[in-house]
């Protein structure tokens, strides 16, 4: 008999990634129970609860936060609701796992950090790349001094194509708030101790130029200067024809590490056309282990272990870069991070 006490978790927001996280809690974690799901969309929580055998479903988020059986919540709503729900959850005494971005303004980020500190509940953010084996080993190599002092860093997100999104329904600046925010966290995490000082961003609508005049961006490049002299480049595009391509690179005084591989596995086909590999097509396939490991770590923190995952302060730091990018694109200039 296991002596591990399962942690009772509720999902708030039963959409694409929330459903996947709920499945992780219910089916992939051995020490957590999925006890409730909340989503205001008619039938969404009920259908997912039925599929995953969760005992309760709600259309009212306040009801799930008032439930004494719930110890922790996973917030996977659209980004604009994250900070207010995180604050309410902390005030209700629930541990908080919040999808990125934690907030859309620094003031709201500060509120989430203050509320979780005041309630003494763990707060972990869904920067899942840190849990991918390749990226985790990269950070370990940096900690062991294997590349020396970082000088050039690179992080990229190329979502799988063909692009099937709806530009008219995509909130403005999504490419910075929701896509490149992963890269900003990755670059900060791979450059431990360094502070970003300056950001220059350019963005365009190359996939859907017909939406450019409405402020839609599907392609962006960002340079970040750090106070240790290093320079980082982050780039994103919403439609990589060949798959879901996530990579990182750190070049330092003593060497270089590269992380990430669009190839699904080492299975290589040799045939009349040559040599080929299949590629990742979905985040939930590529990062299934990382997504699960981040929740396993969160569960440990809820049970009292030290939080090792990305914190509210980490989310705030990545958000500051996203906000500086928005200013940089809007004003067509380099932006200092000193005011953020």
Ligand X SMILES: NC(=O)c1ccc[n+]([C@@H]2O[C@H](COP(=O)([O-])OP(=O)(O)OC[C@H]3O[C@@H](n4cnc5c(N)ncnc54)[C@H](O)[C@@H]3O)[C@@H](O)[C@H]2O)c1
Name the residue nearer to ligand X (CB basis): 71 or 178. 178
**Residue 3 and residue 202: Cα distance in Å, rounded?**
53
Under rule CB under 6 A, residue 14 binds ligand X = yes
Peptide linkage before 162 cis (omega within 30 of 0): yes
- Tell the smallest beta-carbon distance from residue 188 to ligand X (Å): 16
At 58, list the tokens. 């709600």
- Tell the smallest beta-carbon distance from residue 274 to ligand X (Å): 33
Under rule CB under 6 A, residue 108 binds ligand X = no
Under rule CB under 6 A, residue 218 binds ligand X = no
Piece in contact with ligand X (CB under 6 A), picked from 8-16, 140-148, 208-216, 252-260: 8-16
- Tell the smallest beta-carbon distance from residue 286 to ligand X (Å): 10
What is the CB-side half-sphere exposure of residue 247 using CA atoms within 13 A?
Answer: 14
- The single residue among 31, 47, 81, 327 that binds ligand X, judged by CB under 6 A, is 81
Peptide linkage before 101 cis (omega within 30 of 0): yes
Under rule CB under 6 A, residue 126 binds ligand X = yes
Under rule CB under 6 A, residue 66 binds ligand X = no
Piece in contact with ligand X (CB under 6 A), picked from 35-43, 219-227, 232-240, 270-278: 35-43
Residues 327/105, Cβ–Cβ less than 8 Å: no
Under rule CB under 6 A, residue 16 binds ligand X = yes
- The single residue among 24, 33, 128, 230 that binds ligand X, judged by CB under 6 A, is 128
How many beta carbons lie within 10 A of that of residue 233, not counting itself? 16
- The single residue among 35, 79, 180, 299 that binds ligand X, judged by CB under 6 A, is 79
Name the residue nearer to ligand X (CB basis): 77 or 124. 77
Please give the residue ranges that form the binding site for ligand X (CB under 6 A). Answer: 12-18, 38-41, 44, 61, 76-79, 81, 99-100, 126, 128, 178, 283
């Amino acid at each position: 008999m296991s002596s591990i006490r399962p942690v009772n978790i509720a999902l708030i927001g039963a959409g694409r990634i929330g459903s996947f996280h709920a499945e992780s809690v219910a089916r992939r974690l051995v020490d957590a129970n999925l006890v409730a799901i909340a989503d205001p969309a008619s039938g969404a929580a009920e259908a997912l609860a039925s599929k995953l055998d969760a005992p309760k479903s709600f259309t009212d988020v306040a009801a799930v936060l008032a439930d004494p059986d719930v110890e922790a919540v996973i917030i996977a709503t659209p980004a604009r609701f994250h900070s207010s729900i995180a604050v309410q959850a902390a005030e209700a005494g629930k541990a908080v796992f919040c999808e990125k971005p934690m907030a859309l303004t620094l003031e709201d980020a500060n509120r989430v950090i203050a509320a979780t500190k005041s309630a003494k509940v763990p707060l972990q953010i869904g920067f899942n790349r840190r849990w991918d084996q390749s990226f985790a080993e990269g950070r370990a190599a940096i900690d062991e001094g294997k590349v020396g002092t970082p000088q050039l860093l690179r992080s990229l997100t190329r979502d799988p194509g063909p692009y099937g999104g709806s530009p008219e329904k995509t909130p403005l600046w999504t490419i910075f708030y929701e896509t490149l925010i992963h890269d900003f966290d990755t670059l900060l995490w791979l450059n431990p101790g360094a502070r970003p000082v300056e950001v220059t961003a350019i963005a365009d609508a190359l996939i859907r130029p017909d939406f450019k005049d409405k402020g839609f961006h599907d392609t962006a490049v960002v340079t970040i200067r750090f106070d240790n002299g290093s320079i980082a480049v982050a780039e994103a595009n919403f439609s990589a024809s060949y798959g879901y391509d996530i990579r990182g690179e750190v070049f330092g005084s003593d060497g270089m590490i590269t992380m990430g591989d669009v190839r699904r596995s080492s299975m290589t086909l040799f045939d009349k056309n040559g040599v080929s590999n299949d590629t990742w097509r979905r985040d939930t396939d590529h990062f299934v282990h990382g997504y699960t490991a981040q929740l396993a770590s969160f569960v440990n923190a809820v049970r009292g272990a030290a939080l090792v995952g990305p914190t509210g302060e980490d989310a705030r730091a990545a958000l500051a870069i996203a906000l500086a990018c928005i200013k940089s694109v809007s004003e067509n200039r380099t932006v200092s991070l000193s005011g953020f």
